[in-house]
Every structure is written in C-alpha cells, then in structure tokens.
Structure 1
Amino acid sequence: MTEDDNDRYRAPALDKGLDILELLAAVDGGLTQAEIAKRLDRSPNEFYRMLDRLVKRGYVTRIDGDRFALTLKLFGLAQLHAPVRRLVSFAVPLMRELAEASRQANQLVVFDRGYPVVIAQQEAPGYWGISIRVGSRISLFDTGSGHVLLAFHTKEEREMMIAENLGSSGDHNKVTPEFLSRLDQIRARGYEMMPSAQTAGVINLSAPVLGADGKVIASLTVPYITLINTPGAPDITNSIQLLLETTRKLSEMTGSDFKAEG
C-alpha cells in the first residue's frame, strides 16, 4: 500500500486520540492541555473535546487540577485477554497445591476498570471452605485483595486506581490517611492479613504476584478459617508462609526478581 493509500484511509479524530494516549503513556506526572498541544505541535483548542471524551470514557484522568494522565483502563482491557489466560494457566496448578497444603480455599484477583476481579478460584480440599465465583467484582477498600493491589503500585498509580473506583462506587470516606498508611505497611510486610468485612470468622490472607517490573499484576488470597478436628491442618502462621511461597513461585514465572521493601 502506498503512502497516498494510507492517507486515503486516515481517521483524524482517532489519530488525535491515539496521539494523546501514546504521549501520556510516555511521561510521568501528566501534562497540561497546553503541554500536550506543544508536544504534538498542534493548537490547544484542538484537544479540548478529545481530552474531555477520554476523561469521560475513563482512559484519562485529571490530576492536580489542570494536568491529564492515563488511568489504568487500557491495562485493565489488556488483562481481559491473553495475559489473563496465561496467568491463570500458570496459577491453577500452584493454587491447587496451596489448597492441598493449607486445607484452605484460595482465589486469584486482578484490577480491572476500577475493581478487583476474581479470575481463578480453587476450592478447599475438605468439607469446609470459602468460595467466590470467578468473574465477581469485589471491594477495593474492604478486601485483602484490594489492599494488596493498591499497596504494590506507585503512589501515582494508587491515586489513579482509587479515582477510577470512586467514579462508580462513591466510597470517598474510605480514603483516609490511616488507610494510605496501612497500604505502606502492607508493602513493607509483603502481605495483608485482615478480618473479612463480608464473613464473620474469616481472616483474609493476601499476597502479591509481581511482574518483572516489580509491580503487582495480581493478588492471591486465602480466606482462612480455623479448622477444628482436622489433623495436620496448618495454623494461620504456616498458612501465610505457604501463601508467600506460592506467590513467590508465580512471580518467578512472570520473570520478577522484585523483593518487597522492608
């Protein structure tokens, strides 16, 4: 196809939107409308409506009042396809081993368009266990999985994830200094341990699966319940160690050599 043929099928509005997305993907801290126009050698007025639509569709967010930055929506869309299927294929055998060793259920969760989403579930091997349907959207603020997904991203990425979630959930009162401090503690410790906000008597144990860049790509959670009259069932301390060993193995499969801070 010649250059003339390429020009014949141009879509200027689409090109403009893609130019903005590609530019914002390459910078940290976002850009103002004027800075975007300058870098793309266009008039600022040309980008007003395009930026407004990208913000309304959730691909771009405003930060610091007049700056624009990418959200994680594109990442979330990508997660719905081959990468998620490959991650699940790696994870399922390890999740099965974890369930057998811990006598507990476990689930794998990723962040998608504002919410943690369950992409794999492994039942407990015995009679009792907590399960959740694959595809379920769960709370970003009230679950161990949500906490881990936030804790192992950068401060800027956390802000975008929270903003994307708050756009639909309205849980503004949950983003407190104490909550943000807890996320830092989770990152330093390497895992989350918290009582379930949904089921009495359950302690959520959650740890990150890390990519090669050291950022969390998924959270693996054991909804721990104390098993009575079950010889050989690990206690909660040993269950945490089993969980961390499983996420370490799964992280190695992604090429990660990242170690939690602290």
Structure 2
Amino acid sequence: MADDIQDSSFDATERYRAPALDKGLDILEVLSEQARGLTRTEIVKALGLSPSQIYRMLERLVARGYVTRIEGGDRYALTMKLFLLGTQHPPVRRLVAQAQPLMDDFARALRQSCHLIVPEAGAGVVIAQASPMGHWEFRARIGGQVQLFSTGSGMTLLAFQHPDRAQQTLGGWGVSDAAAKLARIAEHLQQVRAQGWRAEPSGQLVGVTDISVPLLGPGGDAVAVLTCAYIEHPDELGHDSRTEALAALADVARQLSLSIQQPG
C-alpha cells in the first residue's frame, strides 16, 4: 500500500512537470548559494545542462529583474527582488503590527525614539518608528535606508549572522566583496555578538549614542534590529538613563524575537 502511495505521488510529480520553470528555479537556487555570483559557464557546469538550455531562461530572469549582471557583465547574481516580494508577505506586516505598540510604549516611557530595520538591497530599511511625546522629536524616516557597515543598526545586523553563513547571507542581500568587508570589522562584530547588543556613538550625528539590539529568528540569526538613537536630556545628567534605555530596548527585542520564533 505504501509503495502504491509513493508511486502515485511520483506519477503526479512527473505529470505536472514544467521544464522551463524548473530550469528557472534551478538557476535561482544555485545563485542563492553564491556570494559573488557565477559566470554563465559556471552555472552550466553546476546544473549539468548545455549552454543553450539555460541561455534564454537566464536572459529572461535578467529582464524580469530577478538576476543581474555584475563585474562588467561577466557574472550573474541574484537581485533583491525575491526579498522585496517577501517583504509584502503577511509575516512582515505582522512584525510591524506587533512591534509598533511596544516601540510606542518604549518611546513614551524612556523619552527616546527608536526604529526597526530589516535588510534590503545591501542596506537596512526602516520599517517602523516611534517617537516620544513632547514638542520635539528625533526620528528615522520609515522607508529610509541605513548602511550596513557604518551604522549601529547595520553592524548589529551583521554581528548576529552565523559566522559560517555570514558571507553567503550578505551575498544574498546583494553585498559585493562581503568577505573583505566582514574581515575589516570582524573583531568588533565578535564583541557585539558576545555582549548581545551594541551601544556606540553615532557615526552620523554628534551627541547621539546608537543603542541596538537584534531580533533573532528561529535559527538564531538576526532578522531585524531595533535601535534607539539615544539623546541625553539635561534633567538626566548624572542619572544612568542610558542603561535603563538599553534594558528596556532589550526587553522589547526579546518579546518580538519570541513572536518571530513562535509564529501564529
């Protein structure tokens, strides 16, 4: 009986084969494993197909924006289009819906702004933001991009990628020359990962301390980062409000990480 079910499943799989679609998916899958892309010859070799079998499919993937030519057009790599499609998926909207009230509570209680970023197109993009009550505010623009290698949010996102997969992950995000860039800040990333958070003077604004904590997915890698652009208030001089802000921000990140790890 089990053999009959297995045979039936195999027959159904074969019956509904779409060779052209299979080739396109094969190309996307093999490119997803390569940080620096592949030449056409390397793709042919990896898939065990003839050049003529993949040429038109590869060109269509380029035309539709799923694949791009890099290094003078000799190599092919994935774009961020698949990721952008994924950000329209309900889990991203659910993350923002869960994060916003917690972030608003943090901003009101600590009198500090905070924002949430996720990776996109070799950078980080702000998907949620909260500001304190009052006549002034400091905010990161929703939809704004931050650099991965020069901001607190970006470096925290990098620090909490598994070292064995970091280069491949960055290649999937669209970061070129990932190995060399990671090597230059490897010691700092290791320190951030060991302490579980990052708090350093902002590289963009004088007088601002970027406090960043990761949101961890089921595999333990950061899928997003929550950052407070901490500004000390005159009435808080001598009071360790920065430590309080870090503790509160870490608690928000912990709650959101649990919601990511245990969806539904």
- Contact between 1:33 and 1:48, CA under 8 Å: does it hold in 2? no
1:80 pairs, out of 78, 88, 91, with 88
Change (3 A) 1:201 1:159: farther
| Residue 63 (structure 2) pairs with residue 33 (structure 1) | no
Q: Which residue of the partner structure matches residue 224 of structure 2? A: 218
Question: Between the two proteins, what is the percent identity of the paired residues?
Answer: 39
Distance 1:182 1:55 in 2: 37
Q: Which residue of the partner structure matches residue 18 of structure 1? A: 25
Q: Which residue of the partner structure matches residue 259 of structure 1? A: none
Distance 2:103 2:79 in 1: 30
Change (3 A) 1:78 1:224: same
Which letter does structure 2 place at the counterpart of 1:146? G
Q: Which residue of the partner structure matches residue 112 of structure 1? A: 120
Q: Which residue of the partner structure matches residue 201 of structure 2? A: 195
1:83 CA displacement: 2.1
Distance 2:66 2:194 in 1: 31
Q: Which residue of the partner structure matches residue 9 of structure 2? A: none
SS of 1:194 mapped into structure 2: strand
Q: Which residue of the partner structure matches residue 170 of structure 2? A: 161
1:235 CA displacement: 1.2
CA deviation string 1:33-59 (max 9, x = no partner):
355223xxx335633665577689565
Distance 2:81 2:170 in 1: 9
Which letter does structure 1 place at the counterpart of 2:199? M
- Structure 1: tracts of 5 or more residues without a match: 257-262
CA deviation string 1:202-241 (max 9, x = no partner):
0000111111221211110000000112599861112111
Please show how residues 143-154 of structure 1 align to structure 2 within 5 Å: 143-154=151-162
Q: Which residue of the partner structure matches residue 260 of structure 1? A: none
| Residue 106 (structure 2) pairs with residue 94 (structure 1) | no
Change (3 A) 1:11 1:44: closer
1:16 CA displacement: 1.6
- Contact between 2:79 and 2:121, CA under 8 Å: does it hold in 1? no
2:131 pairs, out of 114, 123, 133, with 123
TM-score, scaled relative to structure 1:
0.74
1:130 CA displacement: 1.7
Q: Which residue of the partner structure matches residue 249 of structure 2? A: 243
1:194 CA displacement: 1.7
2:214 pairs, out of 187, 199, 208, with 208
Change (3 A) 1:78 1:141: same
TM-score, scaled relative to structure 2:
0.73
Deviates more, 1:69-78 or 1:179-188: 69-78
Which letter does structure 1 place at the counterpart of 2:47? A
Larger radius of gyration: 2
- Structure 2: tracts of 5 or more residues without a match: 1-11
The two structures, once aligned, show a CA RMSD in angstroms of 3.9
Distance 2:78 2:159 in 1: 19
SS of 2:129 mapped into structure 1: strand
Distance 1:158 1:73 in 2: 19
- Contact between 2:34 and 2:168, CA under 8 Å: does it hold in 1? no
